[in-house]
A and B are shown apart, each in its own frame.
Chain A
Amino acid sequence: MVYNIYMPLDRPVPLSAKPSNLEQFKIASRKKNWLLSNGLSRYAGSIALVISATMISELFGHEISPANLVMVYLLAVVLAAVYLGRGPSVLASISGVLAFDYFFVSPRFSFSVADTEYLLTFSGLLIVGWVISYLTIRAREQADAAQRRETDTAMLYALSRDLAAADGLDDVLSVIRRHTEQSFAHEATIFVANEKTQELEATPNDPQTTSQLHSALESEAAASAFKTREPAGLGTNNVPTVEFLYLPLTTARKTVGVLGIKPEEPEDHFEPDQRRLLDAFASQSAQAIERMQLAEQARQVKLLKIAEKLQNALINSISHDLRTPLVSITGALTAIEHNEGLDEAAKRSLIETAREEADRLNQLVGNLLDMTRLESGALQVKRELCDPQDLVGAALGQIENRLVERPVSVNIDPGIPLVPMDFVLIAHVLSNLLDNALKYSPAKSPIEIQARLEKNELQISIIDHGIGIPAQDFNRVFDKFFRVQRPKQAPGTGLGLAISKGIIEAHGGKIWAGASTGGGAVITFSIPLEMPK
Chain B
Amino acid sequence: MNHQHTEQTSTMVEVNGLFSQTLLGIPFVVALILYIIAFVVSRQRGREWPVYRSVFMLLGVFLALISVFGPLAVRAHMDFTYHMLGHLFLGMLAPLLIALSAPMTLFLRALSVKNAKRLTRILRLKVTGFFTDPIVASILNIGGLWALYRTDLYMAMHESLLLHVFIHIHVFLAGYLFTISLIYIDPVPHRRTFMYRTIVFIFALAFHGILSKQIYAYPPDGVPTSEAQSGGMLMYYGGDLIDAVIIVILFYQWYQSKVPRSTALQPSMVSS
- Are A and B co-members of a single complex? no
